[in-house]
Chain A
Amino acid sequence: MKGGVSFAGHILNGDTMRGFFAIEALFILFLTPYFFYLLEPQKILLPRETAEICNDIAQIYAYNLSIPKIPGYTFWIDDKQYYACAYEFRYCTRRFVGREVRICAAACSP
């Protein structure tokens, strides 16, 4: 078709693409932060290890053994915290030890 299609800009339609660069520059400007977000490595959350540690501690407590200090982890036995530190994810479980006891564990934030 002579002159190209009607809905697209084309020099033969008289559209000289003026302002096109400015629009493209705005795209890049506003989408640059999003490109940085996409390029970020995914934050790896390992709840399974925290859950396994929590269940190990719960088993130790249920068997009336002394709970060891595990570097990098904090624990709760019925809302009383041991080896306190800042954390992101906490996993809790319950055991019957004469009464129902709630045992929680969390990995300390780096």
Chain B
Amino acid sequence: MCRGMFAMTAFLLVSITLANLFIIHEKILGTHLNITSKIMNSEEAFYRARNFESSFIFAVVSGKTDVWYNYWKPTYGYFSLGECRQVNMSFSDFLGIVLHDRGNYITLDPYFGAQACVVKEINYKGFKTMGIIKSTLWIDKRSPLSSFYR
């Protein structure tokens, strides 16, 4: 064999070992960031669902439910067999039936005896949840964030 073969072999082994350590280091760091990114995306889905519900309350109080509907495009109607059935009328007409002004409160009441619902499936980067508004919702006009279900 030529001279220096041992030195060359030793050099290759050492450099490959060090390169391997570098790659392992990068993979561990990348895995950490990947998991963190997925957690943040899943939280975004939850925040979006909450934004669906809270923005509805503010829209009802301000009277801008059309703007709200045009953005979210939810399914609205009544619960039947665990599912929110879409009714065959405009959103304004539907709210005209289920919303009632009771002085300091606006209530979202049942739809002809069945539980009224306004739902939207929220899908954010593959993470899914549901935004759900249902009767009977008492919307406090003086403090919308204090609204409650009864």
Contacts and interface: CB of A to CB of B under 8 A. Distances in A.
Query: Do A and B form a real pair?
Result: yes
A84 B7 CA distance: 56
B7 A91 contact: no
A76 B58 CA distance: 23
A41 interface: no
Interface size range of chain A in the complex? 20 to 34
Interface in A23-78: 23-24, 27, 31, 34, 38, 42, 45, 47-48, 51, 55, 58-59, 62-64
Given A15-B3, A48-B36, A91-B40, A27 B21 contact: no
B16 interface: no
Contacts of B33: 45, 47
A27 B11 contact: yes
A19 B6 CA distance: 12
Interface residues of B, number: 34
B81 interface: no
A20 B62 CA distance: 83
A1 interface: no
Contacts of A24: 7
Nearest to A95: B51
Contacts of B71: 96, 99-100
Contact of B5 (A8, A38, A45, A47): A8
A55 B51 CA distance: 11
Contact of B4 (A19, A96, A98, A100): A19
A24 B14 CA distance: 11
Contact of B145 (A7, A45, A63, A98): A63
Given A47-B36, A98-B67, A93 B47 contact: yes
A6 interface: yes
Contact of B29 (A27, A42, A58): A42
A38 B21 contact: yes
A19 B43 contact: no
A58 B47 contact: yes
B64 interface: yes
A31 B10 CA distance: 14
Nearest to A63: B145
Interface of B: 1, 3-7, 11, 14, 18, 21-22, 25, 29, 33, 36-37, 39-40, 43-44, 47-48, 51-52, 54-55, 58, 62, 64, 67-68, 71-72, 145
25 contacts: A6-B1, A8-B6, A9-B4, A9-B5, A9-B6, A15-B6, A19-B7, A20-B7, A23-B7, A24-B7, A27-B14, A31-B14, A38-B21, A42-B29, A47-B40, A48-B36, A58-B47, A93-B44, A94-B48, A95-B47, A95-B55, A96-B71, A96-B72, A98-B62, A99-B71
